Structure 1
Amino acid sequence: MTAQGVRITVGLILFVQGIGSAITDAVWHSSFGVAGLLRAAGAPEWTELTVGGVGAALLIWAMIVWRVRA
């Protein structure tokens, strides 16, 4: 797998885990995935959105690199 593929894969995973967990926590009061584990370990509520934001940043970076090379 190329570095670009890793950026896209990790970005998607973190985005879905972070934003999905934040939505799940807001609606059903239950976290899941990476963000859920962080919350169970005592991390603050904004951790879920931070994980999702990092995923979004990786996806944006991957998109920029793809556009520059195209």
Structure 2
Amino acid sequence: MVVNGFIVIFLVAIIVALLAGGYFVVRDPSTQRRALWALIWRVGLQALLLIFLVLAFFFGWIKPHGVGG
């Protein structure tokens, strides 16, 4: 159950970073590159989520299941 919580937290953080990047691209006129950093955070979070999922599978924290049978 804890693993599911981490996955949900990662997904919410990825969505927040994506929305922040989109907001900065559309609305932010500054030259601080905030959109770039928000999207870099998103890519980094996605990489961490992928690594976490692979490790969770190898340690047996999550188990695959068949779809439809």
TM superposition score normalised by structure 1: 0.53
Ranges of 4+ aligned residues in structure 1 off by more than 6 Å: none
Unaligned runs of 5+ in 1: 31-42
- Amino acid in the other structure paired with 1:62: F
Higher relative contact order, chain-length normalized (CA < 8 Å, sep 6+): 1
Using the alignment, how far apart are the partners of 2:6 and 2:50 within structure 1? 9
Structure whose residues are more often helix by fraction: 1
TM superposition score normalised by structure 2: 0.54
1:1-70 matches, cutoff 5 A:
1-2=1-2, 4-26=3-25, 28-29=26-27, 44-45=33-34, 46-68=36-58, 69=60, 70=63
The CA RMSD measured in Å over matched residues stands at 2.5
